[in-house]
């Protein structure tokens, strides 16, 4: 069974600092999705990466897919309080578009 391991579990940093969170698996991903979830809301899809080595940018967020497609990272530059939330990685598993999720990294940006 493919498991998604996310690290760190919690991260609290000051506004303006940079940070990186990680998503790893012992198996190869067919593709990898990143979501952000705010308290009391459903997760919102940020990006999907498909190709090994792929890099995608979303304003101050940079998503990277490992060359072997077994790991991914999310780097945030100059973090802002609005970046606070739970960051989840997810990957397809099996048929019918089923997706498995990591447990997430809970990020708190201090003003």
Residues 36/55, Cβ–Cβ less than 8 Å: no
Residues 47/54, Cβ–Cβ less than 8 Å: no
Size of residue set near other proteins by CB under 8 A: 21
Residues 32/92, Cβ–Cβ less than 8 Å: no
Which of 85/102 has CB closer to other proteins?
102
In the complex, minimum distance from the CB of residue 22 to other proteins, in angstroms, rounded to a whole number: 15
Among 21, 23, 29, 35, binds other proteins (CB under 8 A): 35
**Under rule CB under 8 A, residue 55 binds other proteins:** no
Each residue 73-102 as x (binds other proteins by CB under 8 A) or -, in order, gives ---------------x-x-----xxxxxxx
Residues 28/70, Cβ–Cβ less than 8 Å: yes
Which of 79/90 has CB closer to other proteins?
90
Which of 79/88 has CB closer to other proteins?
88
Angle at 16 between CA 102 and CA 101, to 5 degrees: 5
Q: What are phi and psi of 56, to 5 degrees?
A: -125, 145
Question: Measured between alpha carbons, how far is 58 from 40 in angstroms, rounded to an integer?
Answer: 24
Residues that bind other proteins (CB under 8 A): 31, 33, 35, 40-45, 48, 88, 90, 96-104
């Amino acid at each position: 069974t493919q498991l998604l391991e996310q690290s760190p579990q919690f991260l609290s940093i000051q506004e303006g600092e940079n940070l990186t969170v990680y998503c790893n698996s012992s198996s190869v991903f067919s593709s990898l999705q990143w979501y952000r979830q705010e308290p009391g809301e459903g997760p919102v899809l940020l990006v999907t990466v498909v190709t090994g080595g792929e890099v995608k940018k979303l304003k101050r967020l940079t998503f990277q897919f490992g060359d072997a497609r077994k790991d991914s990272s999310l780097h945030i530059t100059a973090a802002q309080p609005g970046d606070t939330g739970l960051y989840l990685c997810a990957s397809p598993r099996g048929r019918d578009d089923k997706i498995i999720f990591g447990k997430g990294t809970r990020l708190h940006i201090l003003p």
